[in-house]
Structures are given as C-alpha cells and as structure tokens.
Amino acid sequence: MSKDTILILDFGSQYTQLIARRVREFKVYSVIEPCTLDIEKIKVINPKGIILSGGPHSVYEKGAPSLKEEIITLGVPILGICYGMQILVKTLKAEVREAKKREYGRAEMYIDDHSSLFFSLPPKIVSWMSHTDQAVKIPQGFKPLAHTSYTKFAAIGNSKKKIYGVQFHPEVIHTDCGTQIISNFLFRICEAFSNWQLEDFVESQIKEIREKVGSTNVICGLSGGVDSSTAAVLINKAIGKKLKCIFVNNGLLRKNEATEVLKIFSGHYKIDLHYADASVSFLKKLKGIIDPEQKRKIIGHEFINVFDAKAHKIKNVKFLVQGTLYPDVIESVSFFGGPTSRIKSHHNVGGLPLNMKLKLLEPFRQLFKDEVREIAKILKLPDEIINRHPFPGPGLAVRIVGEITAERLRILREADAILESIIRRHNLYNGLWQCFCVLLPLKTVGVMGDKRTYEHVVAVRAVNSLDGMTADWAKISFEVLGEISNTIINKVRGINRVVLDISSKPPATIEWE
C-alpha cells in the first residue's frame, strides 16, 4: 500500500517545519514544498490533504505570496494556518484587513462548532496567535468555527468542500489541543491512514543510495555525533566497503573527542576510517575572525578542502555524505526558494564552495533530530551515540564568541567537560536537549587567594526541546548550578565567573552564534 501524503505549501513561516513534524508524529507522511509549486507537480504528489503555512507578509501588500486558484479546485481537503487562512480568504474573493488590535501569543479562543476540525475539544482553549491582519469577511459557503475577544473569525470552514482556515497556530505546543486539531484534519477530514514508518524510510534510503552510488565510492564526513554516525551506518548497510569515512580533527572539538571517535568506529564498527588532523590549518584560517557567519563559511571551505585532499588519495570517489537535517535547511536559507527569512547559515548547508568536486548525499535532509535518533535505534547504534546531545558542525568555533585561539579553546574544552560530567553524575544528561558552555568575549575582575584576577566569563546554556525548532531553558536546581559554577571556577585556569543563559527559542537561538 502506498503511503498517504500531506502536502505543506510554505508561505514563509518559521513554523512550517513544525507543521511537518506534527503530521509525522501521527505516522502520516508529509512533504514541504514552496507555495509556488506547479499544479502538475501537486497532482503527481497526489496529496491526501494540503496545509497552507503561515508567513511574514500581508496578503494585500505588493509582492506577497499568492495561492493558485487551481489548488482550491483539486477537491483535496485544505487547512490554511494564519497567513494560509488569509490567502484562502483573499483568493476566494472575501476580505482581509489590518486588525484594529493585533494578537500575539496566548489568546483565549471560544469554539463555536465542534462538528469537524474541533471535534472533541472543550468549549474554550488557549490558542497561540501571531497576526496583524484578520479576515473581516469570509467566503461564500464558509461559516465561523471559533472566535476570540478580538478576532471574530479565529477559524472558518466549508465542510462540503473540506476547506478550513485557522488564524492561530495549532502546530506549536502553546496551543491547547493543537495536536488534536491536526489529528482531526488528518483523520476526520482527509481520511488519511497512519502508514508511514521510519523503518520504511530506512529501506527506501538504502535502495535509493545503492542505486545512486552504483559502483563508485562514497566519503562520509564522520564527527561521532548521532547524525553523521547514523548516516555512516545506514550507508554502510547500503554499499558496504564502498563507504570510506573521514574524520577531520579541525581543532574545534570537545575534550578527548578525536580519540573516542577513532576508538568507536575503527575498533567497534571496523569501518574504513581515515583520520585527518587539520587543526593547525583551521586555526590559522580563523585567526582574527570574529563574525560568526565568516567563521562558518571559513570552516565550510576548509572542511571541503580537507575532503578534496583525502578524496584524491581514494580512487573512484564521487559522493560526500553529510548529516544535514531539516532544521539546518530551514534556518539557513529560504526552503526550496520560498519566502522564509534566513536566520543563520549552517556548516552542512552554508559556506560550501561552488567548485566542490564531490556530489552530496544527504539522507536525513528532510528529517528532524528525534527522527534520526529513532533511525539510530532501528540500526542498533550504541546508546552513547543515540543519546548524545547535538553538536554544531563548526564545533566550538560557534561557542566562542569572538576570536578563536588555542588558549580560548583550551579554556572552553575544560569548562565544557566539567559541565557534562556534573550533568551526567546527577542523571540529568538524557533529560536535556542540549547543555554546554559558551566562552564570552570579555573578562571580569575577581578575587582568588586574596589576589585580584581579571579573567574570562563562561555562560552555561541548558535547554529542553522536542525537535530543536523551539526550546525553553532548563530549570536545573540551584544546588547543581552552584556545583557547576564552583567546580569550573576552581578547576579551569582562566575563568573567574560563570553565568546562566535563561532565554528561550524563539526569540534566541540555542547556539549563541
């Protein structure tokens, strides 16, 4: 049986990938495409339902993304979210205007119709709003389904045509019963089946990689993190000895990381692993560089240069594997050329030279971190890899704010190792999404042994998250925080102050750079 597919058309929302993730949580396959997708390609996808994402524009402004009328006439169930609802209203010849009172964040919403989209929901829920515009007149054949104190049409629907719009964001965790709303759309309205499994994904990827690679060799950039490790094991299953892994020591790794990676993959997995110690060249290239985007691009260029040098020593190499994930793609550039605003480039997808000699294999490009962990379990990778916290491709370079030097790297490595050991000792590691130290570009006055010190400051960043797209700072006990601060200051030469980062994502990102 072929898998049912929900097509998500991206109008530029930073939440678009969350919509896809929520759909997949119900084991229904989802794909994201630009809102400009050709109607014939939509027919080829043959979606069971279509979701129109939010977006940063106003539907009435010049150059705003539009909705093709043919999509509405396909007879496929449609759910418009925020901008998606507004563009539905405009396309169907009704009216959207700037709201007299904007709604951002939590808003009490009253359900007026429980027959379809809001089936089994309570009469009142908390919804997550983010809009400056609203529908003031709804299309013919539609009826209001919900309202708030300031939004008359918080949700609308045409049950006959199975077209619905919501002004709020059901995909974010802040909306009460948001997953139930999505479930109602998938199963009650679209009549989709939960027939997509990650086991199927693994099988299809193995087949696809085997066909694509043919008789050539593949190089895998192995870091020891869950993404590249899982990719290596997956591709090894597909092509066996044709996989050649390269581990690059860029001088930006955590304490003892190079030794541990070599031990696991050369020793345990018996993978053909080539070690490249390029720490000197990376540090030389980064000398004097402060801007984080420049750091990422320099690291990306040098990373590929090292791979090119190694590739020349291995015959018949045509492909380079990278563990690029969906969040990397979304945060780096406009997805598929859509109107999403760029936040920052990522090592896996940004800063790569145009003359790169190898083609990319990115088996996880449309997966989230927790989905990759599930694949790692399917492939029976060890727990220490599966549960390892995410580590950025540029390594400690984006956890040192300011210039990268050997001394600053030493300080951060020692502090970070202490932090991890304490978190693990208190059995907190597996309950956190990420926990790490950031070295700040300033020094402060302190007192040690009755002597004045003027040394570095580190920030502790600990967050909880479901998929890395949104995150909240972790509420670690004062007792543990005190132990972290005291131990780092007492044991790491060059640090006399520890601070705690208590910002959430958004508005902050998880990494500082």
Residues belonging to the active site: 82, 169, 171
Asked if residues 221 and 249 have their Cβ atoms less than 8 Å apart, the reply is no
Of 161, 185, 192, 10, nearest to 74 by C-alpha is 161
Closest by CA to 436, choosing from 406, 385, 396, is 396
| Sign of the four-CA dihedral 140, 145, 149, 150 | negative
Residue type, 25: E
Euclidean distance between CA atoms 458 and 473, whole angstroms: 16
The beta strand positions in 78-191, using DSSP E, are 78-81, 95-111, 124-137, 143-148, 155-158, 163-166
Measured CA to CA, the distance from residue 165 to residue 91 in angstroms comes to 13
Comparing C-alpha atoms, which of 333, 407, 108, 381 is closest to residue 233? 381
Interior/surface letters 416-441, b for 16+ CB within 10 angstroms, e for the rest? bbbbbebbeeeebbeebbbbbbbbbe
Quick count: other Cβ atoms within 10 Å of Cβ 445? 10
Instruction: Check: CB of residue 51 under 8 Å from CB of residue 81.
Output: yes
CB 138 within 8 A of CB 89: yes
The answer to whether the beta carbons of residues 118 and 79 sit under 8 Å apart is: no
Determine the 3-state secondary structure of 447 from DSSP.
Answer: strand
Bridge partners (DSSP) of residue 106 are 128
3-class DSSP assignment, residue 126: strand
* Distance of alpha carbon 135 from alpha carbon 242, whole angstroms: 57
Distances (CA, A) of 500 to 31, 62, 473: 38, 44, 10
